[in-house]
Amino acid sequence: MSTTATEQSKQVPAGTESAIKGGEFLIRESEAKDVFIPEEWSEEQKMIAQTCHDFLEQEIYPRLEEIDSMEHPELMPSLLDKAGELGLLGTSVPERYDGFGMNFNTSMLVAEVLGAGHSFAVAISAHTGIGTLPILYYGNEEQKQKYLPKLATGEYKAAYCLTEPDSGSDANSGKTKAVLTDDGKHYVINGQKMWITNGGFADLFIVFAKIDDDKNLSAFIVEKEFGGITMNEEEKKMGIKGSSTRQIFFNDCKVPAENLLSERGNGFKIAVNILNIGRIKLGVAAIGACKAVTSRAVNYANERKQFGQSISNFGAIKHKIAQMATKTYVSESAHYRAGQNIDDAYDSLLEQGMDPAKARLKSVEEFAIECAILKVHGSEVLDFVTDEGVQIYGGMGYSAEGPMDRAYRDARINRIFEGTNEINRMLSIDMLMKRALKGSLDLMSPAMAVQKELMSIPDFGAEEEEGLFATEKKALRNLKKAGLMVAGAAVQKFMQKLGEEQEILMNLADMLIEGYVAESALLRTEKLAGMKGEENIKPQIDMTRIYLYEAIEKASNAGKQAIYAFAEGDEQRMMLMGLKRFTKLQPYNLKEARRRVADFVISKNEYPF
């Protein structure tokens, strides 16, 4: 008997002492048996994914041109209605508000598959994510009862209004104002919002504004019906052209006082926490797009003949195909690993008696570092994959009538919204440091241990471990040590001023990201080997090794740049030696490994993992 989506998160014992904390991966090893891998989707989850695929095939792909032309403004909301009829708008909404109460990883799976839907993907993710979740997680019972059923079915379409012309990355600096009327019954909102997804057709806006002269934002549920809302024409954009993006003006927009969300001054917290969820979902949606693009590109490479043969016979093309598949596989592994961690944390908080909405938020907040990492990694893998997709298509890749043009343009936004990748890189390190300072994450002792190890004579592999990935695991442990070493030294050097050394923060973030995703792939493949036998997962084993190799080289390079930037003389020499020791790699024939991966993908004529 297969398990259901809601039961599944309980398979892994949650809330036990051993549950991993957010960010803890840096200092603690996980075991393969404790991670969730996509090969474990239940039959029901697969069916849900198939429904999303079928929906794209039937409703979206035949209309991509029409959607992007924006000639029929009613088209996108009507497609959202159709998704609503299938229940796709309510996956995260509990059943008592007419949703389906799926666990987090299942809602990730839906986001992944729909992520290949171009402009539609952006519309549906804004509606179900940043549009719906603020009410789900911060609304009071009346607000939930009033709005969630309408949002879950699609009767109301939602938008999220945080950004302003002068307040983008610096989101708490918005100027939009809310003033309570004398009778205390309404807030009157005035201000201007920018880049608002779904703005053109939304019935409901989550609006962030400052009450009176507050320092902090508050959040409001604003219905279009309240009046006082006007907007500019659609923005002309590089990609996702069919996604509505508007500037919105609030002119004496009268909002009933009971539509204040959560408490006064809580808006920034809401914005940040909702974005946490948005980030990991954005990352996984990018992975969905990666799979679609890779499948198309492989198919094209098989069909297209030059010099009397399929271009997929050429080593240069095989290299690309292998890289596209490898990065996608690795990133996917990390996304669902984190998703399951979030589900497990949620279950354990529920068991401790926490309210479900609070538990959901807390569990995501716990893994906010991972969410930031995954937003960056997913969006950058997608840019890599679409870029190589264009290249494999050659001239046809550059044609506005081929599929790669749209994929390439649409991919680019992902590095910008939901917090730019620069902001997310810095956030990941910032959060890590804060947790270390607060004592919730003990980075100090492992960092000291690494320093001590640096002073000692290296062990030349006296105790060799055995088993699949024994060497790789050691390399991964060392990779983390390298990160701890550089980060530890940078903190000692700059103390509170580290935040001003953004270039170094970027280097540290890269080391952190690479360590996390490479480890996730390794754990996935190791677990998979246990399930299916090494013989049957050779391409996955190759991909894991290929990626680990690249991750270490990338981390080594980032570490070097950081060390050059802040250490000198003996200290520098010592750290460089340490870095070398911790990022040492045995020669490995990457070319042959990539060929094997590519040949497998080519034989399947699609992304097969």
Partner 1 sequence: MKILVCITHVPDTTSRIAFTENNTKFDSNGIQYIIGPYDDYALARAVELKEETGGSITVLNVGTQETEPTIRKALAIGADEAIRVNAEPVDSFFVAKQIAAVAGEGQYDMILMGRESIDFNGGMVHGMVGELLGIPSLSPVMTLELDGNQATMTREIEGGKETLQLNTPFVAGCQEPIAEWKIPNMRGIMSARTKPLNVIEPAEDGTATKLEKFELPPAKGDVKMIDADNVGELVQLLKNEAKVL
Q: Which residues are catalytic?
A: 418
# residues contacting ligand FAD (CB under 6 A): 19
Q: Are 551 and 585 in contact (CB under 8 A)?
A: no
Q: Which does 420 bind (CB under 5 to 8 A by kind): partner 1, ligand FAD, none?
A: ligand FAD
CA 93, CA 96: separation in Å to the nearest integer? Answer: 8
Q: Does 196 bind ligand FAD (CB under 6 A)?
A: yes
Contacts of 469 (CB under 8 A, 6+ apart): 522, 525, 526, 544
Contact 123, 80 (CB under 8 A): yes
Question: From CA 293, how far away is CA 291, in angstroms rounded?
Answer: 6
Long-range contacts of 496-501, Cβ-Cβ distance < 8 Å, separation of 24 or more:
498/433, 499/426, 499/430, 501/565, 501/566
Output the smallest distance, CB 600 to partner 1, in A.
Answer: 10
| CA 113 – CA 57 distance, rounded (Å) | 11
556 SS3 class: helix
- At its nearest, how many Å lie between partner 1 and the CB of residue 46? 8
Nearer to partner 1, 430 or 599 (CB): 599
CB of 229 to partner 1, least distance (A): 32
Query: C-beta of 311: minimal distance to ligand FAD in Å?
Result: 34
List the one residue from 245, 295, 478, 540 that touches ligand FAD (CB under 6 A).
Answer: 245
Contacting residues toward partner 1, per CB under 8 A: 2, 4, 43-44, 46-48, 50-51, 54-55, 58, 85-88, 90-91, 100, 603-606, 608
Task: Establish if 173 lies at the interface with ligand FAD (CB under 6 A).
Answer: no
Task: Assess 372 for contact with ligand FAD (CB under 6 A).
Answer: no
197 is a site residue for ligand FAD (CB under 6 A): yes
Closest residue to ligand FAD: CB criterion:
168
Give, rounded to a whole angstrom, the gap between the first and last alpha carbons of the chain: 24
DSSP state of 215: S
The number of beta carbons lying within 10 Å of the beta carbon of residue 293 is 27
Within 311-440, residue ranges assigned H as helices are 315-351, 356-366, 368-393, 395-398, 403-411, 421-438
Number of continuous H segments (helices) and E segments (strands) in the chain: 21, 10
CB of 239 to ligand FAD, least distance (A): 8
**Residue 426 CA neighbour count, 13 Å, CB half:** 11
Length of the chain: 609
Binding of ligand FAD at residue 422 (CB under 6 A)?
yes
Per the CB < 8 A criterion, the answer to whether 530 and 539 are in contact is no
Q: What residue 54 binds from ligand FAD, partner 1, none (CB within 5 to 8 A, per partner kind)?
A: partner 1
Comparing CB distances to ligand FAD, the nearer of 196 and 528 is 196
SS3 (DSSP) at 609: coil
Strand partners, 309: 306
132 binds ligand FAD (CB under 6 A): no
Indicate the residue among 205 and 469 with the shorter CB distance to ligand FAD. Answer: 205
* CB 418, min distance to ligand FAD, A: 6
Q: Which of 416, 444, 506, 576 binds ligand FAD (CB under 6 A)?
A: 416
Nearer CB in complex with partner 1: 18/603: 603
Do 418 and 375 touch, CB atoms closer than 8 A? yes
Binding mask 491-510 for ligand FAD (x = CB under 6 A): -----------x--------
Q: 119-126 and 75-85 helices cross at what angle (nearest 10)?
A: 60
CB of 39: closest distance to partner 1 in angstroms? 13
Which of these segments, 88-96, 225-233, 386-394, 414-422, binds ligand FAD (CB under 6 A)? Answer: 414-422
Return the one option of partner 1, ligand FAD, none that residue 91 interacts with (CB less than 5 to 8 A, by type).
partner 1
Give me the residues that bind ligand FAD (CB under 6 A), please: 126, 160-163, 168-169, 195-197, 237, 245, 413, 416-417, 420, 422-423, 502
